[in-house]
């Protein structure tokens, strides 16, 4: 197996040019929204709106301005599938369409997916959705085809500011840590890494440098695996069945006497 590969996205140097979105769309031949008749969202410069089956990269624009707009800042972030080490989508997929590749990335095989959409509900980041052309669930593949050909993913290749960096996870962790220290030394003490360590779903193979709370970037502060509810949910369901079973047994056996019961079907009639 090749060494695990991924993305380190330094949001502090993103300029919101959306070159990553365009490169992703172009390489992966993703269709436009509504046949190209897209409407403006009214949400800053973000007309992509969210990650889905035809948007595998999404540049978020977060405006933090004072009421009179004399003070403020932009937070820009190019979002993508996190290629989680413990991937919720892969865990629940009932068809085996979602696989882990030799690069430790997570890929949906479109020819195997039947569009049950369990993975969409399972993803803690809201990354996956149905591609209306294929009617299957789709998301970033971390350009699996390019990786197999020895190339880097289209988005990081196109990024003009190196906000999106591609490489081995080990190298990226070192670079990211150095960058955080550099920012701290420069006085930006809010800088931290989101998803770099194993505490978050075993580690995200696409992790971020952020300068505000995850919620501000519309990222979950505490993403979890969906199977956390499997054992308690099953046990409670079993308890429910036992209660129903006891109610049934008690009512159909406890009728006093073993002879034929009289016709009591009208007992409860008014």
Partner 1 sequence: MNGAPSSTWFTTGPHWGWFIALYFFFGGLAGGSYFLAALIDLFGRREDRPLAHIGYYVAFPCVALSGLLLTMDLGKPPRFWHMLIESNTYRPMFKYWSPMSIGSWVLLTFGFFTLASFLGALAEDDRIPWTAFRKLRAPAAPGLVVELLGGISGFYVASYTGVLLGVTNRPIWSDTPLLGMLFVISAASTSAALMTLLAQLTRRAAPAFPGMADLHRMETWVIAIELLVFAAVVVSLGRVLSAWLNGWGLLVLIVVIPGMVAPLFFSSRNSRIRGVNIQTSAILVLIAGFILRVVIVFSSERV
| Binding positions for partner 1, 137-156, rule CB under 8 A | 137
Q: Are 98 and 109 in contact (CB under 8 A)?
A: yes
Stretch that binds partner 1, among 23-31, 141-149, 172-180, 240-248 (CB under 8 A): 240-248
Q: Are 22 and 181 in contact (CB under 8 A)?
A: no
* Smallest separation, CB 5 to partner 1 (Å): 23
* Smallest separation, CB 77 to partner 1 (Å): 13
Binding to partner 1 (CB under 8 A): which residues in 241-260? 241, 243-245, 247-249, 251-253, 255, 258, 260
* Smallest separation, CB 120 to partner 1 (Å): 4
CA dist., res. 100 & res. 267, Å (int): 62
Short-list 2, 7, 52, 13, CA closest to 182: 13
* Smallest separation, CB 175 to partner 1 (Å): 27
Q: Are 210 and 163 in contact (CB under 8 A)?
A: no
- 3 state DSSP class of 162: coil
Residues recorded for the chain:
270
Q: Closer to partner 1 at the Cβ: 63 or 181?
A: 63
Q: Are 142 and 103 in contact (CB under 8 A)?
A: yes
Give me 139's structure tokens: 């998301």
Binding to partner 1 (CB under 8 A): which residues in 83-142? 88, 91-97, 109, 111-118, 120-130, 135-137
Q: Closer to partner 1 at the Cβ: 121 or 151?
A: 121
Give me 171's structure tokens: 């190298």
* Smallest separation, CB 170 to partner 1 (Å): 28
Q: Closer to partner 1 at the Cβ: 35 or 260?
A: 260
The Cβ of residue 139 has, within 10 Å, a number of other Cβ atoms equal to 26
CA dist., res. 200 & res. 3, Å (int): 20
Going by DSSP bridges, is the β-strand pair 192-194/206-210 parallel, antiparallel, or unpaired?
antiparallel
Q: Closer to partner 1 at the Cβ: 2 or 243?
A: 243
CA dist., res. 216 & res. 77, Å (int): 11
Q: Closer to partner 1 at the Cβ: 65 or 236?
A: 236
* Smallest separation, CB 107 to partner 1 (Å): 13
Number of chain positions touching partner 1 (CB under 8 A): 77
Give me 132's structure tokens: 């209306």
Binding to partner 1 (CB under 8 A): which residues in 178-237? 213, 215-216, 218-224, 226-227, 229-230, 232-234, 236-237
Q: From residue 47 to residue 66, what is the string marking binding to partner 1 with x (rule CB under 8 A)?
A: ---x-x--------------
* Smallest separation, CB 185 to partner 1 (Å): 29
Distance in angstroms between the alpha carbons of the first and the last residue of the chain: 74
Q: Closer to partner 1 at the Cβ: 94 or 160?
A: 94
């Amino acid at each position: 197996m090749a060494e695990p590969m991924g993305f380190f996205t330094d949001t502090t140097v993103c300029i919101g040019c959306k070159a990553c979105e365009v490169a992703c769309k172009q390489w992966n031949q993703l269709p436009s929204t509504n046949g190209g008749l897209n409407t403006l969202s009214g949400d800053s410069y973000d007309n992509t709106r969210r990650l889905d089956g035809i948007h595998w990269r999404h540049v978020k624009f977060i405006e933090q301005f004072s009421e009179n707009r004399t003070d403020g800042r932009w937070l820009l972030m190019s979002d993508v599938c996190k290629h989680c080490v413990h991937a919720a989508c892969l865990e629940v997929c009932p068809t085996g369409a979602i696989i882990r590749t030799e690069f430790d990335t997570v890929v949906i095989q479109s020819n195997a997916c039947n569009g049950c959409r369990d993975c969409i509900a399972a993803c803690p980041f809201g990354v996956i959705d149905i591609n209306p052309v294929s009617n299957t669930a789709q998301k970033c593949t971390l350009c699996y085809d390019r990786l197999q050909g020895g190339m880097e993913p289209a988005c990081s290749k196109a990024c003009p500011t190196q906000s999106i960096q591609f490489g081995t996870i080990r190298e990226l962790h070192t670079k990211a840590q150095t960058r955080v220290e550099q920012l701290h030394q420069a006085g930006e003490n809010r800088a931290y890494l989101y998803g770099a360590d194993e505490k978050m779903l075993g580690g995200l193979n696409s992790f971020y440098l952020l300068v505000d709370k995850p919620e501000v970037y519309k990222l979950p502060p505490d993403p979890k695996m969906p199977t956390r509810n499997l054992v308690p949910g099953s046990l409670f369901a079993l308890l429910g069945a036992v209660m129903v079973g006891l109610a049934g047994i008690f009512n159909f056996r406890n009728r006093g006497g073993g002879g034929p019961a009289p016709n009591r079907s009208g007992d409860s009639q008014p």
